[in-house]
């Protein structure tokens, strides 16, 4: 009995500490009194926890500015997260590209590298390239300074074992133990998750208001994925699989898809489909600006099409609008099915954001039910193609700042009057 009581006290103390860390992260820079009001913890408890967290170098105090100074006496100090507490290595493996970043504990990028890869290449070769990029961004950083490695993977994975079972866009990857292999090479704990889940995790991390909303995150990459967040909780299907919106059928008589079906959304808006459509246009003597760029050595990628669309090329704008049209059909179906408050589209689409959003919204206005579409805001993720990479960093950060075992606690922080924890 006595042991149980001690255990409970320790648990409450740990939870309160996490509660304070989370509150400071969301509100920083902030005063102790604000943390007390937000968490419902007594000022004396806040003082004890904060002093302990400062000793552990997880929090630090900074002087306030003129606006926060009081008229009398010493100006109160503000609290903020010590973002230099540790470093995080984030890796995003996409079928056509790898991205690697060294971040601080707030998932802010300190160094970044990216490299194009051949999706038909052997896993061993691609993993060697990943390690090379990792060593470039970590430089001489002592291993002890790394909090961990977050890895974003496409396809079907085993999160616990760090295995990539299969990916329709990387046919040679079958049951590859990516996580354990990286862990052995880098000598740091590695956590993995699906890229679309990590994109949603990053949106949740940067948008505390999502904790009380229903949010759909759509990832437009080589493949298309989707995550659903309800009040901050991720919906995950049986066996950890769900969100394969790229393989929902748009045209039953459409082209064959790599998944074995036909007419999937990815056969219209997946990167290979976009590139194939551009090739057809060039062959037909259209898309002259694009043809000129290819002739001068540029790689034909969706990103190049987006760049030319931004520069006003009519054919590339038309291609972006076609992508928006099909995405708009898929998003309208999701709005009708799930009634979200917000739909976030992420991917390397910053150059084409305006025409893409316009086409998506036009299609939603045509296809989604009026009352449902009226409450669904559609926006593009601010971090564009780096959302999954940053989500991989958050996968490690949340071990410090979040309360994974008490999921409802997120709501405590989000609400103005929190439940006291002591």
Q: Report the C-alpha dihedral over residues 267, 271, 276, 278, rounded to 10 degrees.
A: 120
Q: Among 27, 77, 110, 259, which residue sits at the site for Zn ion (rule: CB under 5 A)?
A: 259
The CB-of-145 to Zn ion minimum distance in angstroms stands at: 43
Question: Do the Cβ atoms of 148 and 396 come closer than 8 Å?
Answer: yes
Per-residue CA distances from 271 to 29, 101, 265 (Å): 41, 23, 11
* 261 near Zn ion, judged by CB under 5 A: yes
The nearer residue to Zn ion, 189 or 263, going by C-beta atoms, is: 263
Q: Give the whole-angstrom CA distance, residue 129 versus residue 185.
A: 12
Q: Of 257 and 273, which CB lies nearer to Zn ion in the complex structure?
A: 257
Pairing mode, strands 342-347 and 377-380: parallel
Coil, helix or strand at residue 101: strand
Q: Which stretch binds Zn ion (CB under 5 A): 19-27, 175-183, 231-239, 247-255?
A: 247-255
Q: Is 250 in the site for Zn ion (CB under 5 A)?
A: no
Which of the stretches 55-63, 245-253, 311-319, 331-339 binds Zn ion when contact is defined by CB under 5 A?
A: 245-253
- Is the CB of 46 or the CB of 257 nearer to Zn ion? 257
Burial class of residue 177 (count of CB atoms within 10 Å of its CB; 0-12, 13-18, 19+): middle
The nearer residue to Zn ion, 15 or 250, going by C-beta atoms, is 250
List, in sequence order, every beta strand (DSSP E) within 180-266. 190-194, 214-220, 224-230, 233-234
With respect to Zn ion, which residue has the nearer C-beta, 266 or 342?
A: 266
Residue 258 Cβ, how far from Zn ion at the closest point, in Å?
Answer: 6
Stretch near Zn ion under the rule CB under 5 A, chosen from 44-52, 264-272, 311-319, 375-383: 264-272
Tallying the residues shown for the chain, one arrives at: 422
Interacting residue with Zn ion among 25, 119, 214, 247 (CB under 5 A): 247
Q: Whole-number minimum distance, CB 226 to Zn ion, in Å?
A: 14
CB of 181 to Zn ion, least distance (A): 28
Instruction: List, in sequence order, every beta strand (DSSP E) within 189-263.
Output: 190-194, 214-220, 224-230, 233-234
Closest approach of Zn ion to the CB of residue 272, in Å: 12
- Give yes or no for residue 257 binding Zn ion (CB under 5 A): yes
Nearest to 90 by CA among 198, 181, 180, 14: 198
Binding window for Zn ion (CB under 5 A); candidates: 5-13, 102-110, 254-262, 364-372: 254-262
Query: Least Å distance between CB 230 and Zn ion?
Result: 26
Q: Does 224 bind Zn ion (CB under 5 A)?
A: no
Size of the site for Zn ion (CB under 5 A): 5
Nearest of 298, 397, 385, 290 to residue 347 by alpha carbon: 385
Q: What are phi and psi of 266, to 5 degrees?
A: -65, -25
Q: Which of 264, 274, 308, 345 binds Zn ion (CB under 5 A)?
A: 264
In three-state secondary structure terms, 90 is: strand
Interacting residues with Zn ion (CB under 5 A): 247, 257, 259, 261, 264
């Amino acid at each position: 009995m006595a042991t149980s009581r001690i255990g409970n006290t320790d648990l409450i103390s740990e939870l309160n500490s996490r509660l304070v860390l989370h509150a400071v992260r969301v509100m920083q820079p902030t005063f102790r009194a604000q943390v007390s009001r937000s968490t419902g913890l007594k000022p004396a408890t806040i003082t004890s926890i904060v002093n302990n967290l400062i000793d552990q170098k997880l929090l630090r105090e900074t002087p306030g500015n003129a606006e926060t100074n009081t008229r009398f006496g010493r100006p109160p100090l503000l609290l903020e997260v010590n973002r230099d507490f540790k470093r995080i290595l984030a890796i995003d493996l996409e079928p056509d590209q790898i991205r690697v970043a060294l971040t601080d504990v707030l998932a802010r990028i300190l160094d970044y590298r990216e490299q194009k890869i051949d999706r038909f290449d052997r896993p061993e070769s691609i993993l060697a390239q990943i390690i090379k990029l990792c060593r470039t961004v970590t430089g001489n950083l002592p291993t002890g300074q790394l909090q961990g490695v977050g890895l974003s993977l496409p396809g079907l994975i085993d999160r616990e074992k760090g295995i990539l079972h299969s990916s329709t866009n990387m046919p040679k990857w079958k049951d590859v133990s990516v996580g354990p292999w990286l862990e052995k090479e880098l000598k740091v704990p590695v956590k993995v998750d699906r890229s679309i889940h990590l994109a949603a995790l990053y949106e949740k991390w940067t948008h505390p208001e999502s904790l009380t909303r229903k949010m759909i995150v759509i990832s437009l990459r080589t493949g298309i994925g989707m995550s659903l967040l309800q009040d901050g909780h991720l919906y995950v299907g049986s066996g950890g699989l769900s969100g394969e919106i790229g393989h929902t059928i748009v045209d039953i008589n459409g082209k064959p898809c790599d998944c074995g079906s036909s007419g999937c959304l990815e056969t219209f808006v997946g990167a290979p489909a976009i590139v194939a459509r551009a090739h057809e246009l060039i062959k037909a003597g259209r898309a002259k600006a694009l043809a000129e760029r290819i002739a001068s050595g540029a790689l034909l990628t969706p990103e190049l099409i987006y760049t030319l669309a931004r520069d006003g090329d009519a054919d590339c704008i038309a291609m972006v609008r076609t992508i928006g049209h099909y995405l708009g059909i898929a998003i309208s179906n999701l709005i009708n099915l799930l009634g979200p408050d917000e739909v976030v589209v992420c991917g390397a689409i910053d150059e084409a954001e305006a025409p893409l959003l316009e086409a998506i919204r036009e299609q939603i206005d045509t296809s989604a039910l009026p009352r449902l579409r009226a409450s669904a805001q559609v926006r593009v993720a601010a971090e564009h193609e780096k959302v999954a990479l940053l989500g991989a960093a958050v996968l490690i950060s949340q071990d410090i700042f979040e309360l994974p075992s008490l999921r409802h606690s997120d709501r405590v922080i989000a609400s103005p009057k929190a439940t006291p924890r002591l």
